[in-house]
Amino acid sequence: MSQLRTQLDALIAQTSLEVSDQQRSQLVGYVEMLDKWNKAYNLTSVRDPQEMLVKHIMDSIVVSTHLQGESFIDVGTGPGLPGIPLSIMNPDKQFVLLDSLGKRIRFIKQVLHELKIENVTPVQSRVEEYLPEDKFDAVLSRAFASMTDMVEWCHHLPKSNGGLFLALKGQLPQSEIEQLPEWCSVTDIKALTVPQLEGERHLVILSRKE
């Protein structure tokens, strides 16, 4: 068993997440690919694979239990975060991973192929130009602009009836919450615990006002 797998197992053991053997193998496989491609394509500023496990994998999968619905879009996904880890954790849900940079989408396509992930559709587009026929149960974003920008740029993506915005944030962004547009409100805030990660993490759940 690889050192990364041993470390991932130890991290997951500090949470209440249920992660199968296959899912653990896919998560480690994703980190190994990210590490390999990163050297040539500069996909993430995190260089150390062990650090990736904490800052990318654990930081993403702790959101897994808060996903309600069937269809999700990860906007500004970068190399597939949090979309790839969440798609591995939720094989029964559908994910669109959106990014405007071709090299990131090429990497994601290779990940899907090598790790046999079948519930992800990668899309290269700017978010405001992406106009899908079917809307989503939730729009996910991690390290993507401010929440105000997120809801303004992505307002056309969640279902009009009950669609949500899920923003992964560090410290609670009180000033961003105060600047939200009239039509949007915070429905819930979840404090997230990420093993071995310094600093706070929050999931801010937003929806349209009825």
Mean pLDDT score, 138-152: 91
State the pLDDT at residue 145.
Answer: 80
Please tell me the distance from the alpha carbon of residue 122 to that of residue 159, in angstroms, as a whole number: 20
Binding residues, as ranges, are 76, 81, 127-128, 142
Any idea what the Cα angle at residue 140 is, between residues 201 and 54, rounded to 5°?
40
Mean pLDDT score, 166-174: 94
Mean pLDDT score, 56-84: 97
- Whether the predicted pLDDT of 1 surpasses 90: no
State the pLDDT at residue 155.
Answer: 95
Binding residues for S-adenosyl-L-methionine, as ranges, are 76, 81, 127-128, 142
Please tell me the distance from the alpha carbon of residue 142 to that of residue 99, in angstroms, as a whole number: 12
- Whether the predicted pLDDT of 143 surpasses 80: no
pLDDT in tens, 16-52: 999 999 999 999 999 999 999 999 999 999 999 999 9
CATH topology classification for 3-208:
Rossmann fold (3.40.50)
Q: Which residues of 21-60 are buried (b: 16+ CB within 10 A; e: fewer)?
A: eebbebbbbbbbbbbebbeeeebbebeebbebbbbbbbbb
- Whether the predicted pLDDT of 56 surpasses 80: yes
DSSP per residue over the chain, as a string? --HHHHHHHHHHHTS-----HHHHHHHHHHHHHHHHHHHHH---S---HHHHIIIIIIHHHTTGGG--SSEEEEET-TTTTTHHHHHHH-TTSEEEEEES-HHHHHHHHHHHHHHT--SEEEEES-GGG---SS-BSEEEEES-S-HHHHHHHTTTSB-TTT-EEEEEESS--HHHHHT--TTEEEEEEEEE--TT--S-EEEEEEEE--
State the pLDDT at residue 210.
Answer: 72
Please tell me the distance from the alpha carbon of residue 186 to that of residue 179, in angstroms, as a whole number: 11
Task: Please name every residue paired with 88 in a beta bridge, in sequence order, or none if there are none.
Answer: none
State the pLDDT at residue 30.
Answer: 98
pLDDT level of residue 204 (50, 70, 90 thresholds): very high
Query: Count of CB atoms within 10 A of residue 93's CB?
Result: 18
- Whether the predicted pLDDT of 13 surpasses 80: yes
All structural domains of the chain with their residue ranges: 3-208
Please tell me the distance from the alpha carbon of residue 197 to that of residue 43, in angstroms, as a whole number: 21
Mean pLDDT score, 163-180: 95
Please tell me the distance from the alpha carbon of residue 69 to that of residue 144, in angstroms, as a whole number: 22
One-letter identity of residue 18? E
pLDDT level of residue 137 (50, 70, 90 thresholds): very high
State the pLDDT at residue 51.
Answer: 97
